[in-house]
């Protein structure tokens, strides 16, 4: 049974733990800023994402600390409305974490965390040399959404220049996610690594028949998952009765029908299991033919 929680019934820090652990994984903006006096700050923020590409907009949000004080990054952009947003790869995650410690405002996290400053071309804050991608940005707007401890300020940034390490590019010039090897933030001390077996592809959906076109016994299957139903619903045109009859006549399913006739297995379960395997292989058309063979 679902537990219902009203944020008003909890202390903000308690509800934060729920949000932080479930709105995840979150990308990390490794933000470099500079004060009016020229002091550089470098800090990671996982309240971050892209919010449009014409113009290209990135938004991150420094939250006020437990005393209600503004983060150094926010103080800096109030004085100099420019930032560099660097991405965080697995090879630099421990150093990035070190940069999140509460050093004094005029202490450089570049130095403390061991990163290398690179001059930017169009903004004052430096880039992180170790970052595989960096975005030079102008701050378009600061949007406070509260004024107490934990309150955020949306820093709305327009990207005016991007720097990409060619080592992460494929032969086609696209980003290879395995080479980029990004990390994301979860709750507590947890992170996630966006590479290797953690990566998978989901094809772009078509205007398919929809899950509602599936027979009731398929929609209510104890074997097929929601992901399976989503794949089935993506097909544009269902197989015809002639298609199903030809598939049955091919003998592909004879062994399953024989098992069902001997009473060893329930036929719909056998066909659902076969369809599930076909869907795992992205053979949606044959999965449909298999499932429709139940009543053919």
Q: What is the DSSP string of 113-130?
A: HT--EE--SSSSSPEETT
Whether 248 contacts 293, CB under 8 Å: yes
- For the cut 70, the answer to whether the pLDDT of residue 47 exceeds it is yes
- For the cut 70, the answer to whether the pLDDT of residue 265 exceeds it is no
Confidence of residue 264 (pLDDT cuts 50, 70, 90): low
Half-sphere exposure of 30 (CA within 13 A, CB side): 30
Secondary structure (H, E, C), 173-218 = CCECHHHHCEEEECCCCCEEEECHHHCCCCCCCCCCCCHHHCCHHH
Between the alpha carbon of residue 11 and those of residues 4, 25, 65, 122, the distances in Å are 16, 23, 15, 43
Confidence of residue 295 (pLDDT cuts 50, 70, 90): low
Q: What is the CATH number of domain 7-198?
A: 2.30.110.10
Give the list of residues 6+ apart from residue 163 with CB closer than 8 angstroms, or none: 127, 133, 134, 135, 136
Secondary structure (H, E, C), 200-211 = CCCCCCCCCCCH
Which residue in the block uniquely carries the two structure tokens 């930032």?
83
Whether 20 contacts 190, CB under 8 Å: no
pLDDT, one tens digit per residue, over 135-156 is 999 999 999 998 889 999 999 9
- For the cut 80, the answer to whether the pLDDT of residue 225 exceeds it is yes
Domain boundaries, the chain: 7-198, 211-292
Whether 139 contacts 156, CB under 8 Å: yes
Give the separation between CA 12 and CA 20, rounded to whole angstroms.
12
Asked whether the bond before 83 is cis by omega within 30 degrees of 0, the reply is no
Which residue in the block uniquely carries the two structure tokens 């892209």?
50
CA geometry: angle 144, 158, 137, nearest 5 deg: 100
Q: What's 220's DSSP letter?
A: T
% pLDDT > 70, the chain: 98
Give the separation between CA 182 and CA 34, rounded to whole angstroms.
25
Q: Name which residue leads in pLDDT, 106 or 75.
A: 75
Give the separation between CA 152 and CA 71, rounded to whole angstroms.
10
Predicted local confidence at residue 196, as pLDDT: 87
Give the list of residues 6+ apart from residue 124 with CB closer than 8 angstroms, or none: 34, 80, 82
């Amino acid at each position: 049974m679902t537990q219902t929680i009203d944020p008003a019934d909890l202390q903000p820090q308690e509800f934060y733990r729920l949000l932080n652990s479930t709105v995840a994984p979150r990308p990390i903006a490794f933000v470099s800023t500079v004060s009016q006096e020229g002091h550089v700050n470098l800090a990671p923020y996982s309240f971050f994402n892209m919010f449009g590409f014409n113009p290209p907009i990135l938004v991150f949000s420094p939250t006020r600390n437990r005393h209600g004080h503004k983060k150094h990054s926010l103080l800096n952009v109030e004085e100099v409305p420019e930032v560099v947003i660097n991405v965080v790869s697995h090879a630099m995650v421990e150093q990035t974490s070190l940069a999140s410690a509460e050093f004094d405002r005029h202490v450089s996290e570049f130095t403390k965390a061991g990163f290398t400053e690179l001059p930017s071309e169009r903004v004052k804050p430096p880039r992180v040399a170790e970052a595989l991608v960096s975005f030079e940005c102008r701050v378009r707007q600061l949007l406070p959404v509260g004024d107490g401890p934990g309150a955020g300020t949306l820093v709305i940034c327009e990207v005016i220049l991007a720097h990409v390490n060619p080592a992460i590019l494929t032969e086609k010039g696209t980003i290879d996610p395995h080479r980029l090897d990004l990390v994301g933030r979860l709750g507590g001390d947890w992170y996630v690594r966006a590479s290797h077996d953690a990566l998978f592809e989901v094809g772009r959906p078509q205007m398919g028949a929809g899950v509602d076109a599936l027979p009731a016994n398929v929609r209510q299957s104890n074997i097929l998952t929601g992901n399976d139903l989503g794949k089935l619903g993506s097909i544009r045109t269902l197989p015809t009765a002639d298609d199903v009859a030809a598939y049955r006549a091919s003998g592909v399913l004879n062994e399953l029908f024989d098992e069902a006739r001997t009473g060893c297995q329930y036929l719909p379960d056998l066909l659902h299991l076969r369809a599930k395997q076909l869907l795992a292989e992205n053979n949606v058309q044959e999965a449909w033919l298999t499932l429709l063979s139940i009543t053919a």
